[in-house]
Amino acid sequence: MIDLFAWLGSVLAVFGVVANNHRLRWCFLAFFVSNSIALVIHTVYGLLPYAGRDLVFMVLSVHGWFKWSGKSRYQLTGYEILKKAVSK
């Protein structure tokens, strides 16, 4: 069962990276959830240095979420990205 959660965390992390590459704010939610899963797994197995790293990444995800709360010229919505892709 723990392997299923590990795979889910990995898939969420990949989706988060793709969303980050497109400057989509929800990437931080994906990162937070995937790092939460990793935190639990690392804590269960006693891998406390990795659990500490996961906790730091979770804090950074919250920071990024609030930092990206205002739309800047570098941040596009999913619709805007799709519109740009279609217009090429």
pLDDT digits (tens, 9 = 90+) for 38-68: 999 999 999 999 999 999 999 999 999 998 8
pLDDT digits (tens, 9 = 90+) for 65-77: 998 887 554 556 6
Helix residue ranges per DSSP H, 22-88:
27-44, 48-67, 78-87
Residue 80 neighbours by CB under 8 Å, 6+ apart = none
pTM, two decimals, is 0.76
Mean pLDDT of the chain: 88
Domain that holds residue 26: 2-87
Q: How many domains, in total, are found in the chain?
A: 1
- Report the percent of the chain where pLDDT is more than 70: 84
User: Contact, 38 vs 54, CB < 8 A?
Assistant: yes
